[in-house]
Structure 1
């Protein structure tokens, strides 16, 4: 398997496609599935929750709509040689966000994300552990998830979420190597380029109670889902109505009929 690399020799071509064939496959020519099932019932809602809560933040940061969120879809980082199938040169994170790229290509939904066509790495990749976490921490050259995200794709932030242990590990790329980030005083992990924090929230979502992976803002306020925001607004409206009713009752007790 070949890796997308550039040479530091100033006499060589430093473009992202240096040394690669002139005609490279794009997302329409590469497999978009390896036939694996989603591993458990909690993973799809977790992806929904992460996306729902952070969408208002991303819309503010990208008023032009130029960003994409991927879930269980391939990031192609390396070209394979027969008899290896193309998907051996890809990883499919459970959730990832890429800034400053179009959400669709030529008006069509993305089948995968191809680095040698777009050149922009995801800012953050999240893996949801179903087993013992070995797969997510595998540093085997060219094969292990950890190695691929660190050395091949070079994702600035990599999170490993373990619902069974109610924890998340977050790694930050520093000088080409992942360093385990310490939690802040709120037991959250700041993702500074987004102005948000990542952490564990115990509660109910889509009728399931779990220690969910969620976002907070930089001040430690929980980023709400659309349903939570609606419920919060309804509660605020009801509180204002009750205050108005109490005030009207007090005025009537004083012999004053309140104006409608």
Structure 2
């Protein structure tokens, strides 16, 4: 008697970052978003190098974090304006990252930042993903996804129009809004930094910007700011050296003029040297 063997059907593997869309086709909502994201990354570079001497970390800017499979795929992703993931390689198999896929890497982003062009209601949307009738599509809210599914430890919402900053910390399964410290900053203790709002010019825009400070309240500088500071220090040192040279020249000229007058008054070379705090050889050389 011949028995038929049912063939096991193996489901397709979950897609990786090269197989998922890089964008949902929406526009960046204001001109501050891109320079703001660059500013956050640039000024944090030395801190991240100290935290990760092996270089194992990734920064995402308007990149999708895929947390579930959907049709279309981009409905299963959230794209924070800026996020940081510790202890993952900056590239995958030698390729730049096109998105961050949780089911491929498992490491949760440590902090996500949303730059809100509106009143922040979209960024605070706590709509849950519930089971719906067939054919009905509902996209869960950002806040709910970050809090309940991805569980990002720190979530910041910056309201660009009003310069207000909200920072949430994930504790016991829920986000709790943090209070700023005495400097008006929000400490991110594990990273040894503080997040706050700074008014100044960056990339030809004078705005209120999100910036990082160290735990002592010192502003973390960008590469260009560090270079400018170094140029200022070099110029200050040059001016100090030039002033010192001019003082020395002036003192020498005064001594040159004083020596013959003192000698003419009948003082010996030794006496002149003592009066001018010079050696005998210096007096003889200047006379």
TM-score (norm 1): 0.87
Instruction: Confirm whether residue 172 of structure 1 aligns to residue 159 of structure 2.
Output: no
How far the C-alpha of 1:203 sits from its partner, in A, is: 0.6
Which residue of 2 is the match for residue 89 of structure 1? 76
How far the C-alpha of 1:165 sits from its partner, in A, is: 0.8
Q: Which consecutive residues of structure 2, in runs of 5 or more, have no partner in the other structure?
A: 1-10, 130-139, 256-287
**C-alpha separation between the residues in 2 aligned to 1:61 and 1:132?**
34
Instruction: Confirm whether residue 158 of structure 1 aligns to residue 148 of structure 2.
Output: no
How far the C-alpha of 1:22 sits from its partner, in A, is: 7.2
Secondary structure of the structure 1 residue equivalent to 2:123: helix
Q: Which of the numbers 113, 120, 139 marks the counterpart of 1:133?
A: 120
Q: How many residues align?
A: 234
**C-alpha separation between the residues in 1 aligned to 2:160 and 2:122?**
15
Residue pairs, 1:2-151, within 5 angstroms: 23-80=13-70, 84-142=71-129, 143-151=140-148
How far the C-alpha of 1:64 sits from its partner, in A, is: 1.1
How far the C-alpha of 1:241 sits from its partner, in A, is: 1.1
Secondary structure of the structure 1 residue equivalent to 2:157: strand
Q: Are the equivalent residues in 1 in contact too, given 2:118–2:161 (CA < 8 A)? A: no
Q: Segments of 4+ in structure 1 off by > 4 A?
A: none
How far the C-alpha of 1:79 sits from its partner, in A, is: 2.3
Q: Are the equivalent residues in 1 in contact too, given 2:115–2:159 (CA < 8 A)? A: yes
Larger radius of gyration: 2
TM-score (norm 2): 0.79
**C-alpha separation between the residues in 1 aligned to 2:98 and 2:91?**
9
**C-alpha separation between the residues in 1 aligned to 2:21 and 2:250?**
74
Deviation string, structure 1 residues 165-193 (Cα, Å, up to 9, x no partner): 11210000011100001100000000111
Secondary structure of the structure 2 residue equivalent to 1:72: coil
Instruction: Confirm whether residue 249 of structure 1 aligns to residue 246 of structure 2.
Output: yes
**C-alpha separation between the residues in 2 aligned to 1:68 and 1:250?**
54
Which residue of 2 is the match for residue 227 of structure 1? 224
**C-alpha separation between the residues in 2 aligned to 1:132 and 1:184?**
24
Q: Which moved more, 1:200-209 or 1:239-248?
A: 239-248
More helix per residue: 2
Q: Which consecutive residues of structure 1, in runs of 5 or more, have no partner in the other structure?
A: 1-20
Deviation string, structure 1 residues 198-232 (Cα, Å, up to 9, x no partner): 00000111111111001001100001111110010
**C-alpha separation between the residues in 2 aligned to 1:153 and 1:111?**
19
How far the C-alpha of 1:137 sits from its partner, in A, is: 0.3
Which residue of 2 is the match for residue 8 of structure 1? none
Q: Are the equivalent residues in 2 in contact too, given 1:163–1:210 (CA < 8 A)? A: no
Give the number of the structure with larger relative contact order, counting CA–CA contacts within 8 Å between residues 6 or more apart.
Answer: 1
Which residue of 2 is the match for residue 240 of structure 1? 237
**C-alpha separation between the residues in 1 aligned to 2:100 and 2:212?**
24
